[in-house]
Amino acid sequence: MGLSLQKGQSLSLTKQDGSALTRVRLGLGWDAVAAKRGLFGGRKEAEVDLDASAIFFDAQGTPIDYVWFNQLRSKDGSAQHTGDNLTGAGEGDDETIRIDLSAVHPAVAQIVFVISSYSRQTFDSVKNAFCRVVDDSTAGAPEVVRYELTESGPHTAMVMAKVARGSAGWSFSAIGERANGRTVQDLVAPAAAAL
């Protein structure tokens, strides 16, 4: 298991030998809170459809590309969304975005990862939400870093994390800021505020 970060903490994306990570996978996962159902008080886990998206910003904070369920690949080909999970069911990552950091367009300074509820379900219905970075360039794809979300509430989106390009390479930062919106376009302003 990778290093666990708290909100506001950052980590350089380098391997143990000091070389830079190149191919990473950002995994997002969540579970639905069990809801009371029926006349006899039985509890059933509801389905929660959250959508993972990535917003690519230039050095001036202008969005220049997106990866989300309606655009599964970045314009430069460096990032690919693996598909929309409509229920959040199952263990592990519910949605993933793969990024070849060495192929990200030079104009991109930061990539912000957001999750949103297209059906407007709130985070009161979500538990065990997390994002993690996995090193896809190493055998066994070890987890590098994990950020677990501990807040619930009446919001419909979260600005989860970002990767930023610096002189020493890429770094990962845990953000965890509440937002509201259904799609990636609704979350540009909250994501820009986290740059």
Lowest mean pLDDT of 21-30, 45-54, 66-75, name the range. Answer: 45-54
Q: Does residue 38 sit within a domain? A: no
Q: Looking at residue 153, which CATH number applies to its domain?
A: 2.60.60.30
Q: What is the pLDDT of residue 34?
A: 67
Q: Is residue 39 part of a domain?
A: no
At 138 the pLDDT is 84
Q: Residue 106 belongs to what domain range?
A: 3-33+45-193
Residue 40 lies in a domain: no
Q: Would you say residue 88 has pLDDT above 50?
A: no
More reliable by pLDDT, 172 or 42: 172
Is the distance from CB of 25 to CB of 96 less than 8 angstroms? yes
Average pLDDT, whole number, for the chain? 86
Q: What share of the chain is helix, strand, coil (3-state, %, to 5)?
A: 10, 50, 40
Between 37 and 170, the more confident residue is: 170
- Please give the tally of structural domains in the chain: 1
